[in-house]
């Protein structure tokens, strides 16, 4: 049991090290920003993340609509 656990931990450490090679070796290495809003091509098409779309939709609803949603939940 101990050997299996140790092997699993070693495999996980190796995988994490391989995933972080570029980030660790570059001077100012960072994880790439993969957020929808940071993509110029998606912004050009008018595509936004779900949070942004929800926020925009909530600004368009009036108080009665929002209260109705709260009561139904």
Structural domain that includes position 67:
43-73
Q: Distance between CA atoms of 43 and 66, rounded to whole angstroms?
A: 28
Does 70 map to a domain? yes
Does 64 map to a domain? yes
Residue 35: per-residue pLDDT: 80
Instruction: From first to last of the 73 residues of the chain, give the pLDDT tens digit.
Output: 788 899 999 999 999 988 888 777 877 777 777 788 888 888 888 888 888 888 887 778 788 887 888 888 7
Q: Hey, what are 53's tokens?
A: 């779309």
Total domain count, the chain: 1
Does 53 map to a domain? yes
Does 1 map to a domain? no
């Amino acid at each position: 049991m101990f050997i299996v656990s140790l092997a699993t931990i070693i495999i996980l450490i190796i995988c994490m090290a391989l995933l972080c090679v570029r980030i660790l070796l570059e001077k100012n290495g960072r994880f790439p920003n993969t957020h929808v809003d940071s993509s110029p091509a998606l912004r050009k098409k008018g595509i936004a993340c779900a949070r942004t779309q929800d926020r925009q939709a909530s600004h368009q609803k009036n108080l009665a609509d929002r209260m109705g949603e709260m009561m139904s939940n």
